[in-house]
Every structure is written in structure tokens, then in C-alpha cells.
Amino acid sequence: MAEKEYIIPYSEEARKRHDHKTIRGKVVKFTVQLEVKYEGNWKEVVRYDCAHGYAHRDSYNLLGKHTKEELYLSFEDALTLADDDIDDNWETYKHKFLEGDLP
């Protein structure tokens, strides 16, 4: 099993955490999430993963409440979507999170 895990800082207050595992080149587990520093602590804002056996996206608010959206994608496609979406939209997600506009 091969595993890749890394953190990409976008700013001092925002970062992407990426973790995925493959077996023979096939993604078997993944988590990609945007984290924002709020009151000195890193908070989940948007997380893509397969923790329940299917690819989905969780969006969080400041209180830690979240909504879950099933993606209906393979783990490989969901992993690509997650990386691209967070890379492209992290600033928007960060502002919505801090303004209370996420679930």
C-alpha cells in the first residue's frame, strides 16, 4: 500500500491537508480538506473523503455543524475533484466560513 500525506499552506490562516492511499495504483482511501485558523485553532471548512464507503463532501460552519453531499464519483475522480476544487476556491470557502455563510 502506498500512502501520500502532505499539507499545502495557502496563507498563514488557510491550508489544505491531503492524504490518500493506493493499492496497485487504485485509490482505496482519501481525505482532502481545507482548514482555516480561527481563534488560534485549525478548523475544518470543506472536507472530501470516503470515510463511509462512498465519496462525499462535508461543509462545516463555525460551530462544527456540517452538511454531507454524496459525489457519485469513483475515489480517483473524487480525489482529483477535491484537490482542484480546494485549490481553485479556498479563498471563497474561507470567507464564507468566517462570515457564517456555510451550513
**Angle ∠(14,16,19) on CA atoms, nearest 5:** 155
Q: Say if residue 71's pLDDT is above 80.
A: yes
User: Average of pLDDT values for 71-77?
Assistant: 97
Predicted pLDDT of residue 46: 98
Whether the per-residue pLDDT at 102 is higher than 80: the answer is no
Indicate yes or no: pTM above 0.85.
yes
Q: By percentage, how much of the chain surpasses pLDDT 90?
A: 92
Which three cell numbers, joined as nine digits, stand for 2? 502506498
Q: How many residues does the chain have?
A: 103
The domain spans of the chain are: 2-99
Q: How far is CA 36 from each of CA 62, 83, 92, rounded to the nearest angstrom?
A: 10, 16, 12
Q: What is the mean pLDDT of residues 42-47?
A: 97
**pLDDT top residue among 52 and 48:** 48
Question: Per-residue pLDDT for 88 more than 90?
Answer: yes
